[in-house]
Structure 1
């Protein structure tokens, strides 16, 4: 009995949404879930090390090159209709003596659970075109860590299987395998021809007509193929990724009016990118988390995911809820030195690669983060304030208490009342705060600080976690618990300001090293302490002025390290660069203490930088001064999109609006202090406690619409 023909469905042009054009020469990054693709702007990859298509931290395609009779396509343009889709348009090279080519080549690429590429040829000539079309493919199955580091190791056994129905490539390593099955079929059901390194079609296109084929690369995990997200028999607009993206846009807040084009573009881009970075757990489909960033961190990260989802509460609180619920399921239960797991501890990152030896701690889950655990409690407190639901909060209270137990038992290693870190394995991170590069924590003279290290901002997070737990106790009628945690918070704040303040220098210490010496460098970390409220009021002005000093403020944002410090390097990862999320946190802290002009200056600078990146803020920028370079200088390997960079503009706007919900008390405080350059704006469908409100604001004026009648509005 002959095999059934595939019901190949062609994507209809009317299904395409508004596109994002790309500048020539820029790399294209497509993402969905744990899949991503990095390629040149002509759709090709394989010529650069850090390119390819990845699935669950493994590069399933390291080479993908389209050829017409052995010749490459001449690129014309590339468009990005969706975060998971790219459209590459070009023309086939003409034969010698034929003049200009009349054969248009359009490649529609969809990334998610592997990759699908639809090829559409249109003959604009008066004679038929006959040629051999081939995709040259390669798969090294390198781990994402190897690709990022630029050191690919040839490990395991590679296998190639060629059949009449497809090309199968695989690598076997120890007891695991990763593979990819590549198949191609035309619109009329004819299968491609396969060899060890290519998929080919013999093509004839009559004048004025089109030819169509689809090629898919489907991952296999230990020999089992995954479920395709873009099956050929289903229209792309009805695929899972397309439906999820459409629903995200329909349910997210809308900036319906803005007099500031840069602000509007940046907020729109942030909303799109946060939607693209969502991760869905098939075992818990209602829990939606957020990946840290593309291309290298398409995985759940404790710190990154917590901060990004906290900053995104005004867009979708369920992102934060899903992040907390997912992290709670993986909360530490035992002491395991290699992975640095400890009871109550919140993980640092999750990895899926087959070669677990390449992951931090040699484990798929690594726990080496000093700040994810208090941030977990902080975020649960914020979810309660946003009215996520008392039953949902109550279900997570036990996890919050176990996190607080970890702070006391394991976080405070020596019983001095401060939380410090020291890695349990040489395969773990030496620095375990947000500046986790090996040289990220140093003294004023540039000397590297050695652990155990108690960072200033971590004490601030712990203080905020205590306050959050006190408020949670109050909301559940636990008056004794409320008093206890408020007392813990007050005591920590008092001791912090006594110990971390350096009177001879007139500033706070970055932290204390393993010998209890104050780390005296001037950094952005102290701005996080403004955010959490641990700074004494009488010293806050000194902190604010220091952050906006010429040594710290570049004109594009606040540096991670002062130019006066010995380790300053504007091109470094953590020692003089500018991070958008860091600045958004600092702006929130400045607003908390009433330094409105300072906050406005930083917010405007960061949004000016966003304009130079077409509205998409990168993970970080170099720390050169604005007077030196008229546009922000990109950091060479910065992630983009990156979750907390994408969330930063949203948090900046929330801070400047002074939008502070307290739904357990049925109150909403909003008292805007928008820069004049922002002009007037209106935001509709802002989620709040199960309802949707609208906000009209200009400078210090505000109107709130659709607020439930039982919620008191405080200006």
Structure 2
């Protein structure tokens, strides 16, 4: 990761490893509501950039960067001996305020005098501009820039009618300043003496300034929230340093990616470019988090319900009942120059909304929430039956209506992701294979919940619809010569005959017969699909394969996790163990054991997983993969409605001990220990605690 990023709620800061937002950086900045409120933040020592010693952001919510001075000598006169001064930049965000403290320590044997400079700017760029969008219309303007020895301020009036402000204050009076947004502090330090300057950056909208509390109070409160999170989260301990590190990193990354938009905790997609509500990404992340913090699923469902489509609006690819794809709040979205306030161009968000609701109820037993959401669920089901299947052929299909929307509207949404053997891109409307699985799973899993709510007729109807889908599915999608399912059907109902990872998502749905499910699982860990670091998005033998491609040969951890859920449910332990080992093998090579959004699909002969150049990290459904690994190893299948829990555990090669404690399910928590002697079977399973109110059945 060639940047450092911290986040709290709806604000995040992206800098280089020195902690700077360079004035010539295209991407660094302090962001809130899809707007860059700080586009320059540079620290100098005697006019020069300090030397980097270390740069750590392992805690996510606080970053510490250690710097020192280079040798400063002019005409034989030593102004500052090398490595005389230690600079530590410590920053965090609390509420919507960035706090940065610069600590300066004299490690020389003499008194030192030197200058520390700080330079600021704010361009208030919209996130779409930073990502390369070219607007057709004029944008707003910076209307104010001013400063004094204790404060710097800039204001921007957007074409969306919104005023945006950035104010920076510091607790030490500057000795000089310039019109270019530069301040200078003359520092005198005795040997071992330490001095500090704290900068406070305050972004605001429409003059509504966030509350600024003293720095020490802010960091203490922030630490308390993380301590509470960790105390309430599931805990994992194993004899694998990588598994422990991956799980702990995933838990911390998920916490930093949670934002409350007014409906409860909600996982935004990822940093730095997708710190906003997403349909598919957030729903899948919430699904992954059921064994960690089930309440996140409830907050996610309520947020999605609040933004459910109500109109027929081709500009936004919106129809009544449809669940959104992405919600942006910047100037371009608010002024209507892009259709993302919100945008609905996703074929899978709507069935995933129903699927998450059903899985949440089976996990927790909370049918009251489902009853509250039932009007939204019914609208979503109507969308699937109507707008999702406009030609009434039984398949849920997509095509782009918005001129500035997304062409491919599944999770593989790049333009080249659905490709025929001929190399031609599939023409829309397109029926993706995994989407049919989501629809099937959503309907079958929802049916018993509806019966609990007294909606027997509706439950029966969903079971009948699911059965019709199942009867037709194999004939349409199965490729006998490949012994695998096609990724999609195109506009002519012809198979798109690429071998991809998409059918792996079918395994958790139970849509496909067990014999074919086993063939799918086996193919996904065969050499053409599995290179040692996870399941590739496309077979090395398929037209369009490219290990450097975003969706046609790369490895996505969340994609592997969706397949893992199914492998575990079906008892395909050998294949599941291979996938788990692949994820651990990859995590071992990444900073802080953090799985990124994706990485290239090269095999183990390279010696390490090759990073994808613009992958988000941390990223919600990549972080959520660490939770799914634990769920899969436990073989955990709760049914809170029936007051039962099923465990069908395994441990991959190299791991002989796994203890999982405080895992939330139904009305309480369970703690489980898996053990085996080195290299021997059978696996010993011990239930350490069970306050769930459910009986536990151990299989295998």
TM-score by length of 1: 0.91
Q: Is the 2:447–2:459 Cα contact (8 Å) retained in structure 1?
A: yes
1:109 aligns with 2:94: no
Matching residue of 1:124: 107
Give the number of equivalent residue pairs. Answer: 680
1:90 is aligned, of 29, 48, 67, to 67
Bigger shift: 159-168 or 425-434?
A: 159-168
* Shift of residue 537, structure 1, vs aligned partner: 2.2
Q: Is the 1:340–1:423 Cα contact (8 Å) retained in structure 2?
A: yes
Q: Is the 1:90–1:106 Cα contact (8 Å) retained in structure 2?
A: yes
1:704 is aligned, of 687, 691, 694, to 687
Matching residue of 1:502: 479
1:517-532 aligned at under 5 Å gives the runs 517-532=494-509
Cα distance per residue 1:349-391 (max 9 Å; x no partner): 1112122279895232111110011011111111111125232
Task: Name the CA distance, whole Å, in 2 between partners of 1:32 and 1:123.
Answer: 33
Q: Is the 1:444–1:522 Cα contact (8 Å) retained in structure 2?
A: no
Task: Name the CA distance, whole Å, in 2 between partners of 1:612 and 1:81.
Answer: 15
Report the secondary structure of 1:552's partner residue. Answer: coil
1:280 aligns with 2:256: no
Matching residue of 1:7: none
Report the secondary structure of 1:235's partner residue. Answer: helix
Task: Name the CA distance, whole Å, in 2 between partners of 1:152 and 1:129.
Answer: 51
Cα distance per residue 1:141-168 (max 9 Å; x no partner): 2222222338799943223332435211
Cα distance per residue 1:485-520 (max 9 Å; x no partner): 222211111111222223455432211111222111
Q: Is the 2:365–2:641 Cα contact (8 Å) retained in structure 1?
A: no
Matching residue of 1:22: none
Matching residue of 1:263: 243
1:161 aligns with 2:145: yes
> Structure 2 vs 1, CA of residues 478 and 143 (structure 1 numbering), >3 Å: closer, same or farther?
same
Q: Is the 1:360–1:427 Cα contact (8 Å) retained in structure 2?
A: no
Task: Name the CA distance, whole Å, in 2 between partners of 1:654 and 1:488.
Answer: 30
> Structure 2 vs 1, CA of residues 69 and 439 (structure 1 numbering), >3 Å: closer, same or farther?
same
Q: Is the 1:55–1:114 Cα contact (8 Å) retained in structure 2?
A: no
> Structure 2 vs 1, CA of residues 393 and 184 (structure 1 numbering), >3 Å: closer, same or farther?
same
1:99 aligns with 2:81: yes
Q: Is the 1:145–1:358 Cα contact (8 Å) retained in structure 2?
A: no
Matching residue of 2:597: 619
Matching residue of 1:178: 164
Task: Name the CA distance, whole Å, in 2 between partners of 1:438 and 1:170.
Answer: 38
1:142 aligns with 2:122: no
Matching residue of 1:398: 375
Task: Name the CA distance, whole Å, in 1 between partners of 2:291 and 2:336.
Answer: 34
Task: Name the CA distance, whole Å, in 2 between partners of 1:414 and 1:506.
Answer: 29
Q: Is the 1:259–1:681 Cα contact (8 Å) retained in structure 2?
A: yes
Matching residue of 2:679: none
Matching residue of 2:581: 604
2:185 is aligned, of 188, 192, 201, to 201
1:561-576 aligned at under 5 Å gives the runs 561-576=538-553
* Shift of residue 576, structure 1, vs aligned partner: 0.6
Q: Is the 2:153–2:166 Cα contact (8 Å) retained in structure 1?
A: yes
> Structure 2 vs 1, CA of residues 342 and 152 (structure 1 numbering), >3 Å: closer, same or farther?
closer
1:307 aligns with 2:284: yes
Q: Is the 1:671–1:702 Cα contact (8 Å) retained in structure 2?
A: no
Unaligned runs of 5+ in 1: 1-24
Report the secondary structure of 1:225's partner residue. Answer: coil
Q: Is the 1:384–1:663 Cα contact (8 Å) retained in structure 2?
A: yes
1:549 aligns with 2:500: no
* Shift of residue 709, structure 1, vs aligned partner: 7.6
Q: Is the 1:607–1:649 Cα contact (8 Å) retained in structure 2?
A: no
Task: Name the CA distance, whole Å, in 1 between partners of 2:125 and 2:49.
Answer: 26
Task: Name the CA distance, whole Å, in 1 between partners of 2:527 and 2:336.
Answer: 40
Report the secondary structure of 1:584's partner residue. Answer: helix
Bigger shift: 195-204 or 462-471?
A: 195-204
Task: Name the CA distance, whole Å, in 1 between partners of 2:692 and 2:398.
Answer: 47
Task: Name the CA distance, whole Å, in 1 between partners of 2:215 and 2:406.
Answer: 46
> Structure 2 vs 1, CA of residues 525 and 358 (structure 1 numbering), >3 Å: closer, same or farther?
farther
* Shift of residue 226, structure 1, vs aligned partner: 3.0
1:34 aligns with 2:20: no
> Structure 2 vs 1, CA of residues 63 and 237 (structure 1 numbering), >3 Å: closer, same or farther?
closer
Matching residue of 1:6: none
Task: Name the CA distance, whole Å, in 2 between partners of 1:669 and 1:467.
Answer: 19
Cα distance per residue 1:261-299 (max 9 Å; x no partner): 111111111111111111112x44xx1000101111101
Report the secondary structure of 1:224's partner residue. Answer: coil
Note the aligned Cα RMSD (angstroms): 2.2
Q: Is the 2:536–2:601 Cα contact (8 Å) retained in structure 1?
A: yes
Task: Name the CA distance, whole Å, in 2 between partners of 1:297 and 1:503.
Answer: 39
Q: Is the 2:476–2:495 Cα contact (8 Å) retained in structure 1?
A: no
Cα distance per residue 1:28-66 (max 9 Å; x no partner): 121222222222221122143222221221111222110
Unaligned runs of 5+ in 2: 677-682
> Structure 2 vs 1, CA of residues 388 and 350 (structure 1 numbering), >3 Å: closer, same or farther?
farther
> Structure 2 vs 1, CA of residues 359 and 370 (structure 1 numbering), >3 Å: closer, same or farther?
farther
Cα distance per residue 1:318-364 (max 9 Å; x no partner): 11111111111111112111112211111101112122279895232
1:453 is aligned, of 430, 449, 473, to 430
2:220 is aligned, of 238, 242, 245, to 238
1:197-596 aligned at under 5 Å gives the runs 197-228=181-212, 231-232=213-214, 234-239=216-221, 241-255=222-236, 257-281=237-261, 283-284=262-263, 287-356=264-333, 361-387=338-364, 389-503=366-480, 505-596=482-573
Report the secondary structure of 1:425's partner residue. Answer: coil
> Structure 2 vs 1, CA of residues 273 and 359 (structure 1 numbering), >3 Å: closer, same or farther?
farther
Bigger shift: 513-522 or 659-668?
A: 513-522
Task: Name the CA distance, whole Å, in 2 between partners of 1:615 and 1:106.
Answer: 25
Task: Name the CA distance, whole Å, in 2 between partners of 1:357 and 1:400.
Answer: 28
Bigger shift: 174-183 or 423-432?
A: 174-183
Bigger shift: 382-391 or 196-205?
A: 196-205
Task: Name the CA distance, whole Å, in 2 between partners of 1:504 and 1:360.
Answer: 48
Bigger shift: 94-103 or 297-306?
A: 94-103
* Shift of residue 477, structure 1, vs aligned partner: 4.2
Task: Name the CA distance, whole Å, in 2 between partners of 1:131 and 1:656.
Answer: 57
